[in-house]
Structure 1
Amino acid sequence: MFKAADLPDTLPVFPLPGALLLPRARLPLHIFEPRYLAMLDDCLKSRNRLIGMVQPLPHADKELHNIGCAGRVTQFSETEDGRYMITLSGVSRFRILKEENGFQSYRKCLVEWRDFDRDLGLHEEDAGFNRPDFLTLLKKYFDAQSLSTDWDALKEADNEMLINSLAMLLELQVEDKQALLEAKALSDRRKILTTLLEFSLLSGDAEDRMQ
């Protein structure tokens, strides 16, 4: 487990719209662009093996959201044609202070971690979570979107894994993903996710009435 003192001042960042990583969650990635292959190569040589996932600002050339989440490379495998399949395990969110110039082909940023101390804990609780009501809402959403899932696995997942996995996996707008990332606590993330599911269902109902 990482301690605050273990977190670096600079971080290679991987801008990827719609890709959300959260603390204590896992994100599989397919690395094939030369600059990100170089980033991975340097990352694997480092002591902490951290990569910062951050979302680009919509409709802005090279601008990034200022909050992302760092993940440690915990699994990787190379394909015969030189691509990599890796897994990032979420460690902590960070705030970008400025982008650093350098000779590397990928982007690197000066970051701070001080607002995200809770990310380094073992897990986070949500005492106000009404799980049966949430699963009922989720079932309606999946039915409306014609999605399928392993409901037994969802029912067995703990509250943090359930909320964070859905936040990462559901197809949502970049700004919605960013709002879920920036939520101060798990309870806030759950409330935002619930609102997004309810809004989607209401929007669908409105569209049906208009047809």
Structure 2
Amino acid sequence: MSRRCAIWPTTELRSAGSTSIGCESIWQHVLSPCERVFQRGLLLPEWRHCPSCMGVLMMNEPSGLVEDLSEFSGVAPLFPLPDFVLFPQVTQPLHIFEPRYRTMIADVLNGERLIAIGTLKPNWDSLYVTKTAPVYPEVCLGRVMLEREMDDGKYIIVIRGLCRARIKAERLTKTPYRQVELDLKYDKYSETPEIHRGNRRAELLETLIATLPGADGNRETTENALKDLPLGVLSDLISSSLKIPTETMISILAENNVDVRTDLLLEILREQQREKQEPGSGRKFPPDFSAN
């Protein structure tokens, strides 16, 4: 693992017939006493202990897809990461080892438990240790759902994305980590839909299944896991599972109009499908925004 990479590789236990397309990322994570991280949706029902150390698993109980942020102070610590974008309603294990971010987590756990997960812009390396490394203004406000402090003072946390946000100002503080003022951007559903949302859901699922390896063999599992999600959440879950350039991920995160966002996502999925069917075709990826 790179010294600067805080993304913790999740250990997955798959039960028979589980989907391989990554839709489990919306499910809750579980921590074991030996610091292994499991995805709850993939654990067999009878497993309540870690299969490695046999310790009791720490469950993160679901709390609904929409969280009330009306009492959010408007200010959050900024945790900028390279080549990583967190989306709302997606959970991600993180390994916190740098001293400044260990201080940040200790402060967060004594406060609102909220962190703005940001993404570093290109050419960040020389400024990484400073508080001026360039960051995209689009971030995701997340909540620390589970945490474990290890004997050496490092942390393993599981953070859940809550809401899109945009940095409107950065505060001058004495803390070793950065703090930002945020404008929250909730999903917007136009009163007059720009698309037929039922058809769009079907288009997204069909194109996703046709694009990702092994998904067609788990079609029923995939559809059942995703069928009841709001269209905005579905689009974010799909976006988080794609291997696309960071700049394209940021453009999806920046769009809170669900109709427009799914239009962009569908174009990306269709382009990937064409690339899969016609390898070496030389088509531009990511595609330009649709004129529609």
- TM-score bucket (shorter structure): 0.7 to 0.9
CA 1:191–1:18 in 2, change beyond 3 Å: closer, same or farther? farther
1:106-121 aligned at under 5 Å gives the runs: 106-113=177-184, 116-118=185-187
What's the counterpart of residue 135 of structure 1? 205
Shift of the alpha carbon at 1:207?
4.1
Q: Which amino acid aligns with 2:165?
A: F
Question: Aligned with 1:24: secondary structure?
Answer: coil
CA 1:151–1:36 in 2, change beyond 3 Å: closer, same or farther? farther
Which of the numbers 223, 243, 247 marks the counterpart of 1:155?
223
Which of the numbers 51, 76, 83 marks the counterpart of 2:147?
76
What's the counterpart of residue 160 of structure 2? 89
What's the counterpart of residue 54 of structure 1? 118
What's the % identity of the aligned pairs? 26
CA 1:117–1:177 in 2, change beyond 3 Å: closer, same or farther? closer
Is the contact made by 1:129 and 1:187 (CA closer than 8 Å) also made in structure 2? no
Shift of the alpha carbon at 1:73?
0.9
Q: Which amino acid aligns with 1:66?
A: P
**CA distance, structure 1, for counterparts of residue 161 and residue 202 of structure 2:** 27
More relative contact order in 1 or in 2 (CA 8 Å, sep 6+)? 1
Which of the numbers 56, 60, 85 marks the counterpart of 1:20?
85
Superposition CA RMSD, Å:
2.8
Is the contact made by 1:97 and 1:112 (CA closer than 8 Å) also made in structure 2? yes
Q: Which amino acid aligns with 2:123?
A: H
TM-score scaled to structure 2, two decimals? 0.59
What runs of 5+ residues in structure 1 fail to find an aligned partner? Answer: 120-125
TM-score scaled to structure 1, two decimals? 0.78
| Higher helix fraction (1 or 2) | 1
1:180 aligns with 2:252: yes
| Structure label with greater radius of gyration | 2
Which of the numbers 29, 32, 46 marks the counterpart of 2:97?
32
Is the contact made by 2:209 and 2:219 (CA closer than 8 Å) also made in structure 1? no
Aligned length: 198
